[in-house]
Amino acid sequence: MMLLVTSGVAPYLAQAESILDVGDTFIVPLLLKLAFVLGIFFVVPLVAGYLEHKAMARMQHRRGPVEAGPFGTLQLVADGIKFIQKEDLIPSAADKWVFAIAPGVALVPAMLALLVIPFGPGVFALDLELGLFYVLAASSVSVLGVLMGGWSSANKFSLFGGLRAGGQLIAYELPLILAAIAVAVQAGTLSLVGIVEAQAEFMLFGTGINLWFVIPQLLGFGIFFVAALAELSRPPFDMPIGDSELVFGYMTEYSGIKYAMYMLTEYAGMVTMSALMVVLYLGGWQLLPGVPLPGCEGAGGLFDCDVTGTLLGVVVTFGKIMLLVFVMVWLRVAYPRLREDQLQRIAWQVMVPLALLNLALVTIAKVVY
Amino acid sequence: MTGHDVVFVLVGLLTAGGAVLTVTSKNLMHAALFFAVTLGGIAGVFLPLAADFLALVQIVVYVGAVAVLFMFGLMLTRAPIGREALDGQNRGLAMAVAGGLFVVLSTLVIGAFGDLPTAEVTGPRIDDLGIAIFADWVLPFEVLSMLLLAALIGAIVLARRETGESGEELTVTRIEMAQDRDPDALEREQAALTSGSGGDGEEHA
């Protein structure tokens, strides 16, 4: 619906043109963009999952998947086929409709968030003027799906898992948004493409040294990373599915394809959040600060690219995304799970004040310089 | 009739349907979910009116926070999990109030704005909106935020009343856990509670 409404009206769109805007017809770019978003949504999370399998295995002195496909690369595809074949169990006391819809309510916002994220010069479906705000709004809806699943399962463990997830997602959404606002303040725009451009043009005060936003906003980046981990319920913030106490939290009663949808939401969320961090703090598709991409002519050497430059930009972006995914996996292996009260205390007594401090500092610096 | 009108009507129907189901469903959780649909639908109504910022604010605040808090509160307190129903039995009264309000409001709105000419909708740019809020209208904005802050503090004070320092102390019913404990400990704790010096940390065994 967003697509239908937006393509006709100019005010929704920022200036940047997508490479998928081909021809004069309405329907061709629309289909291309849908295919682009769905393709990324169903393929990149599998790559992230494979990376997690292999990296975790190495850190635990195992080999990880080796049988399915070369080096076990098709393990998650095989898992997907297995999930589709499984029996779709619904507990007899469960609220059937809510139980069935809940994984979709969690999944669709994760899919929608990918609509505006740029993966390279011109490689995005839409460059909304409100892109950053749109991603945060879309991801805030996922909580509903988790709460619905936790409640409708008619199971104590699920209910507690849903409650914990709800409390955690509400608590960590605030520092996440506050950290993102600080980036928007520094960049002077909410468009994700605009933020990449602003980073390419941001110079250290009074000099010609180009810096990514991660340097002046190291605190903000830390807050965003931790809050993103908590938003995704990734270890060490996986209290909602803490298997030593709650079986598997809100996912306890789910099996088959619905369970797979919850898992896909988590991995797609990892990719989305990593991509967002790349765009907000790590210079988007810029190789190194101050280094223009070969074949590009626009602002900061990052726009109006030829085929080589575009492909290189996409490779750089996905490289950075996978690097961040790897760090998330690393943290999962390295740290034990937090206790519920520690988790809430960190959110409200540490993260929120720090995020506010970061926002104040960035705003003052923006006004002074 | 333009494409905007079609989208507007479809989303409007969805919103109205969600609203009707909110008040007719017998299960409190279902009502909360349909309420979330209604709130999301209102965001959808803003989109063809070129108010995309407002639409996103509606989603973040109402769907992502208010509806979630509703469900969170229901689950935390008295949600019947599974299929049980929890119904207020106030259907007739609610229908009368809602119908009366609808008649009054629609009469007022049509009477006030009915003969205005229609115009093509174009939204403002987001930077114009930001300048308007934080430069031209900064004083009302700050006053509003103070009002919200006061409401927030008031809510905390009310919520803490039963055990906190701000209200009267309630007599706490103790659950006797260990009979073989020091028998005088119970009296000492009760005395501390009734003398009014006890904080909220002392009522549990």
- Summarised one tens digit per residue, pLDDT across range B182-198 is 666 666 766 776 765 44
Check if B50 contacts A (Cβ < 8 Å): yes
Q: At what angle do helices A256-280 and A307-334 cross, to 10 degrees?
A: 110
Residues 6+ apart with CB under 8 A from A101: A148
Q: Is residue A317 part of a domain?
A: yes
Q: Is residue A301 part of a domain?
A: yes
pLDDT for the residue B46: 85
Report cis status (omega within 30 of 0) of the bond before A11.
no
Q: Is residue B52 part of a domain?
A: yes
Q: If we measure between CA atoms, which residue out of A266, A262, A282, A265 comes closest to residue A324?
A: A282
Q: Is residue B50 part of a domain?
A: yes
Domain limits for position B48: 1-89
Q: How confident is the model at residue B114 (pLDDT cuts 50, 70, 90)?
A: low
Q: Is residue B167 part of a domain?
A: no
Are the C-beta atoms of A40 and A113 separated by less than 8 Å?
no
Average pLDDT over residues A154-173: 84
Q: Is residue A25 part of a domain?
A: no
Residues 6+ apart with CB under 8 A from B138: none
CB < 8 Å to B36, chain A: 144
pTM of the model: 0.78
pLDDT for the residue B143: 93
Q: If we measure between CA atoms, which residue out of B35, B63, B19 comes closest to residue A143?
A: B63
Q: Is residue B7 part of a domain?
A: yes
Check if B204 contacts A (Cβ < 8 Å): no
Are the C-beta atoms of A235 and A65 separated by less than 8 Å?
no
Rounded mean pLDDT of chain A? Answer: 82
Average pLDDT over residues A269-277: 90
pLDDT for the residue B150: 93
Q: Is B83 within 8 Å of A95 when comparing Cβ atoms?
A: yes
pLDDT for the residue B80: 60
Location of structure tokens 């109504």: B45
- Calculate how close chain B gets to A307, using CA atoms only, in Å: 33
**Entry field: residues in chain A:** 369
Domain of B13, CATH number, reads: 1.20.120.1200
**What's the DSSP call for residue A86?**
S
Q: At what angle do helices A27-59 and A256-280 cross, to 10 degrees?
A: 100
Q: Is residue B65 part of a domain?
A: yes
Check if A12 contacts B (Cβ < 8 Å): yes
CB < 8 Å to A98, chain B: 29-30, 33
Q: Is residue B156 part of a domain?
A: no
CB < 8 Å to A106, chain B: none
Are the C-beta atoms of A227 and A351 separated by less than 8 Å?
yes
Look at A177-181, A218-222, B46-50, B201-205 and tell me which has the smallest mean pLDDT: B201-205
Q: Is B69 within 8 Å of A170 when comparing Cβ atoms?
A: yes
Between residues B174 and A242, the one the model is more confident about? A242
pLDDT for the residue B204: 46
The number of distinct structural domains making up chain A is 1
The number of distinct structural domains making up chain B is 1
pLDDT for the residue A238: 83
Q: Is residue A256 part of a domain?
A: yes
Output the CA angle A104-A171-A353, nearest 5 degrees. Answer: 145
pLDDT for the residue B172: 58
The residues in B 110-129 lying below 8 A from A, measured between CB atoms, are 122-126
The residues in A 171-190 lying below 8 A from B, measured between CB atoms, are 173, 190
* HEC readout, B114-132: CCCCCCCCCCCCHHHHHHH
Domain limits for position A274: 89-368
Q: Is residue A64 part of a domain?
A: no
Kindly tell me if the per-residue pLDDT of A3 is higher than 60: no
Rounded mean pLDDT of chain B? Answer: 76
Q: Is A166 within 8 Å of B75 when comparing Cβ atoms?
A: yes
Kindly tell me if the per-residue pLDDT of A11 is higher than 50: no
Q: Is residue A175 part of a domain?
A: yes
CB < 8 Å to A150, chain B: 75
Residues 6+ apart with CB under 8 A from A223: A175, A176, A178, A179, A351, A354, A355, A358
- Phi, psi for A128 (deg, rounded to 5): -70, 145
